[in-house]
Structure 1
Amino acid sequence: TRGLLAAARTLGLPVAFTRVVYAEDGSDAGVFTLKAPPLKQLTEASFSSQIVDQLKPRDGEYIVRKTQPSAFFGTNLTAWYVARGVDTVVVTGCTTSGCVRASVIDSMSYNFRTVVASDCVGDRALGPHEANLFDMEQKYADLMTSSEIIAVLQERVLAKTPSTHR
C-alpha cells in the first residue's frame, strides 16, 4: 500500500483515506454496530480509528469519516472525486468482504471505473477474501496488483503530460 500511495502522490493524483468514526455517545452507530458491536469504540480519539503512521495523510488529501461499510454512503466522497475530475478509483484497505466490497460496489454504482489493488486489501480469513475478490472482479471492478496499477498510472499520466514538460 505504501508504494501505491507514494506513486499516486508523485504523480499528483487525488488521494482519499477512510476512517470509521462514531460519536462518543454512540448516537450515530446504527445497525452496522449491532452486527459488530466493537465498532462503537471507534471514536475520533480512539487509537483504532486512526490512520497508521506509515500511511499518514498529507495536506490536501481527503479523510472520509464514515459510519457505514462504504466510503461513499453518507459521505461527500463522490462530490470530492467529481470536483477533481476523477474517473477511476483504486480501492485498498480492510476488510475485503466488508468495507472494501461495499466501497467497490458504490464506486461502480457512481460510475467510476473501479480497481481493487489485490495485494493491498485483506480480510480476517483467506476464504472470504478470495471469494470476494473473485466476485468483485466478475461484476464490479478490475483486479490488479499494486505494481500493475503503478505502471498503468505512470503510463497514463505521462501520456497526458505535454512533451515540453517530460
Structure 2
Amino acid sequence: MDTEMKARNDISTYQRQGFGTPLELKPPVGLLIIDFVNGFNDPDVFGGGNISQAINNTVPLLEAARKSGWPVAHSRIVFADDGADHNIFSLKIPAMLTLKEGVHNSAIVPELTPAEGEFVVRKTVPSAFFGTSLAAWLAQRGVQTLVVAGAVTSGCVRASVVDAMSYGFRPLVVSDCVGDRALEPHHANLFDMEQKNATVMTRDEALSALAEITA
C-alpha cells in the first residue's frame, strides 16, 4: 500500500469513528503565543525545522490581534537561577535548565515583544496552563476561542492545546504560525490536534473566519 493510499485510509478511519468534528468558533477571541523565544529560534540551541518561519508568520497575527483588541498571552520556559525547580521535564531535557529569567535564550524574540497589558506566563513544563494562572486570566476576559501560535508543535503547543480544551476553551491552532524542529512531528501533531482537540487553519483562513464572528 503506497503512502497516499494509507493516509486516505487513516483519515477514513478517523471519520468513520466520529473524530474531527468541526468546532464552532465563538467570540470573545484570545491569542496565546507559546515559547517563541530566542533559544527556539536558534537551530544550534532548541530550534530548527520551520520554527523561524512560524515566528515570521506570527508577526502579522499578533498585529491583527492587537488591532482587534484580543487578550494576548505569551509563554516562556524559565527555571530558577539556582535550578531549585529542577523537574522531570528538565531531567528528560537537561539543557532546559539553561533557560533562566535573564538569559538571552529565554527572552521572547524581539519581533514579538509583549506590549503593555499582555500576559507573560513563566513555566517549567510543556503546558502554558499547568501550574499557572493562564486559564483564570483568559476566563476573566471572557475568552471562548483561543488562537494558538508557538513552538514546538509536538511539544509545548500540543500540551497547551490539550489543556486549553480541557479547561473549556475552543483552541484554534494556526498551522503556519506553529513550528517544530522536525517536520514529521509537526504535521503529525497538527493532524492529531485537528482530529481530537482543536480547529486547525492557516493564518489567513483563521483571520478571515474570526473577522466574520467578531464583526
Q: Same fold (TM over 0.5)?
A: yes
The reply on whether 1:116 has 2:173 as its aligned counterpart is yes
Matched residue, 1:161: none
Corresponding residue number in structure 1 for 2:107:
50
Residue 50 (structure 2) aligns with = none
Q: Secondary structure at the match of 2:81?
A: coil
The superposition leaves residues 67-109 of structure 1 with CA deviations (integer Å, 9 ceiling, x where unpaired) of 1100000000000001000011111111111000000000000
| Partner in structure 1 of residue 148 of structure 2 | 91
* Aligned pair partner of 2:74 in 11, 17, 32: 17
Q: For the residues of structure 1 that align with 2:111 and 2:156, how far apart are their CA atoms?
A: 20
Q: Which residue of 2 aligns with 1:66?
A: 123
CA-atom RMSD in angstroms = 0.7
Gaps of 5+ in 1: 159-166
In structure 2, runs of 5+ residues without a counterpart are 1-57
Percent identity between matched residues is 58
1:127 maps to what in 2? 184
> Is the CA contact (8 Å cut-off) linking 1:119 and 1:146 kept in structure 2?
yes
TM-score by length of 1: 0.93
Q: Which residue of 2 aligns with 1:148?
A: 205
Asked if the contact 1:11/1:154 (under 8 Å) is kept, the reply is no
Q: Which amino acid aligns with 2:82?
A: D
Query: 1:29: how far off?
Result: 2.2
Aligned counterpart, 1:162:
none
Counterpart residue identity of residue 119, structure 2: Y
- Find the aligned partners of 1:157 and 1:133 in 2 and give their Cα distance: 25
CA distance in 2: counterparts of 1:89 and 1:55, whole angstroms: 18
Greater relative contact order, per chain length (Cα 8 Å cut-off, separation 6+): 2
8 Å CA contact 1:20–1:49 kept in 2: the answer is yes
Q: Shift of residue 148 of structure 1?
A: 1.1
Equivalent in 78, 98, 118 of residue 41 of structure 1: 98
Instruction: State the aligned residue count.
Output: 158
Deviation of the 1:22 alpha carbon: 0.5
